[in-house]
Chain A
Amino acid sequence: MSAPLLEVEGLSTHFRTADGAVKAVDDNSFTLGEGEVLGIVGESGSGKSTLLRSVMGLIEDPGEIVDGRIEYRGRDLTTMSDPELRKLRGNDISFVFQEPTAHLNPAYTVGDQITDVLAAHTDLSADERWERVYDLLGRLGIPSPEERAESYPHEFSGGMAQRVCIAMALACEPELLLADEPTSALDVTIQAQIIDLLTELQADLGLSMVWVTHDMGVVAETCDTMGVMYAGNIVEYGSVDAVFDDPKHPYTEALLRTVPSHLDTALRFDTIEGSPPDLGDLPNGCVFQERCPEAMEACCADRPPYYEVGGDSEWLSKCFLHEGEQTRPASPSAPLADSKTDGGHAAEEDDR
């Protein structure tokens, strides 16, 4: 694999509360190669959105990134100054959210909003900015872009408003798009339109994407690699084909069985008994132990590290079932410095 565009190692984001820390994201590692689409999938409250917001630098008090590093082209985002971050966001990294209308200003036309972004991040003249807007809206399948640029957000349907948000996100030709449930508020037939559009744009522009979703179907259809999140932990990370074909972590295995597919003719639903643990009161050891059919004594004592599974250094599973396999130094106590020099420098050299 070429040097990763984004490398997250040992990332933990906690929220301070009166009752102690809520560990929304706890010791997570993954990498994203150039032109790759990574799906982060999990149930609600698993921390997938917090993980993405951590990468975006959008964690606000009482939340805090307490550990780990987020390297974008070898530069650690967690230590970057605000002006540096702002420059990066918009230019190189941009976002798409679940509720398009919540992220558009209702008082300005969409054309004004997109030209604002262009004015802030590019040297284009006013005329050129408007040309770019028409071009973008057209490219996103919005009919008569010159007229629609004059419309206000409320004049768009949900699917069309999401197209506008994607147009805005792509305005400055970013390398990395971070998308938080971009199609979850949309109906199936509209979701299909947006999935097609994003997949097409991603391939055309060579975009890299992190796509957060609760929908295994969306992951299967759009992503190259995936991370499965449970109770603040990415418990398994690997290629979509491999993980779906032969899930290594018991939670991944259970979750894949549970998702109802309309092609599945079985009469009953597969279940995972119980419910996820309280993130403010996580058990010692593995976060999935209480619901895991494979739980052993060791699972209650220590949090399992990432094991490299399937003979592949890019397929990781946090489970003691893989005892004996190579582990990855991902826990905060492990010597991070070593892996940092490896990944970091390689990426920088590639850059030049």
Chain B
Amino acid sequence: MTLLNVDGLKKHFEVDSGFLSGLLGETRQLKAVDGIDFSVAEGEAFTLVGESGCGKSTAILSALRHQQPTAGKVRFKGQDIATYSKRELRGEAQLIYQDQQDTLNPKMSVGEAIAEAIRFHGVVPDEEVDARVDDLLERVGISPAEKYQEPSAFSGGQKQRIAIARALAVEPSLLVADEPVSGLDVSVQAQILNRLMDLQEEFGLGLVYVTHNLGIARKISDTIGVMYLGRIVEYGDVDDIFENPQHPYTQALLSANPVPDPSVDRDRIVLEGNMPDPVDVDDAGCPFAPRCPEATTECETAEMGLEPFEGDRGHLVDCIHR
């Protein structure tokens, strides 16, 4: 079953364009997310990858109504997501953030934080809550004996495990994780990600994962969407895209990512310049054209949109040269 279906999602912010323009009533739009589509089914892992400022975090926050989207349709289990109450939605879709410091109450024991979530959503009868907390902590690799401790007693990696336990406590069908391990060291990352993949499989969870780390994206995802300047420029099966990237941005991104093996000789595509500010983007043409090594004059005016690559509906590319 499709859990989350996102269609034409946009999130624009009005930016302050200075005193004079303010007086004249001129506004400028920062197009953080500018029309993206994706869907996630039960047991499926979808990853949004992209560099900082590409809009990947805003995309999931707007999809899950943590922010009000500017435009677009989002369905959860086939039903308009706007018809869900906040409580219903939190019971179905749980978010895990990069920095758990901000989301765990520093004055509440971690066991209590998890128990509170279980009770709030009425997952199990009161007398079974304690046993459920212990079970959840064990599953993420934390000894239940430590549940009386406050968050400050735990390391970054342990806090992230606790956050996963708390997210799972409400028995959601979808887990949304925004760079959940990027503050952690590789050896700790690996432990947590393996755990996350096991739990996802065991509970048949849908997973939306957001990261800039291509090594993690490769292992954790079934499908990925590569984002650039508020749009998904390439979408498809993760192995397909990593082995046969089509969009010039995906090609450059993959080739620029350092490989931990000095015996691999690679031709790097080094892009010129920076990703522009999303405020200064033209509506017409391809947003990547100014940095694209293959750009032609048509790219500046072309009608853009994801199209199947060589007729493959599972591999979509937003480039007129493909």
Identify the A interface with B (CB < 8 A). 43-44, 157, 159-160, 187-193, 195-196, 214-221, 240-241, 244-245, 254-256, 258-273, 275
Contacts and interface: CB of A to CB of B under 8 A. Distances in A.
B52 A187 contact: yes
Nearest to B155: A275
A244 B261 contact: yes
A216 B275 CA distance: 25
Contacts of B191: 269, 271, 273
B30 interface: no
Given A193-B270, A220-B262, A264 B187 contact: no
Interface of B: 51-52, 155, 157, 185-191, 193-194, 197, 212-219, 239, 242, 252-254, 256-264, 268, 270-271, 274-275
A262 B270 CA distance: 18
A56 B222 CA distance: 46
Q: Which of A188, A240, A258 has the most CB of B within 10 A?
A: A188
B141 to A, nearest CB: 10
Nearest to A269: B190
Given A262-B217, A267-B219, A43 B259 contact: no
Nearest to B51: A187
A260 B262 contact: no
Nearest to A259: B260
Nearest to A213: B258
A254 B186 CA distance: 11
Nearest to B255: A192
A154 to B, nearest CB: 14
B25 to A, nearest CB: 28
Given A215-B258, A269-B189, 6 more contacts: A187-B52, A260-B218, A261-B218, A269-B194, A269-B219, A271-B194
Contacts of B213: 260
Contacts of A218: 258
Which among B52, B219, B258 has the greatest number of chain A C-beta atoms within 10 A?
B258
Contacts of A43: 185-187
B268 A270 contact: no
A44 B188 CA distance: 11
B186 A220 contact: no
A62 B190 CA distance: 34
A221 B213 CA distance: 17
Contact of A220 (B252, B261, B270): B261
A261 B256 contact: no
A44 B155 CA distance: 13
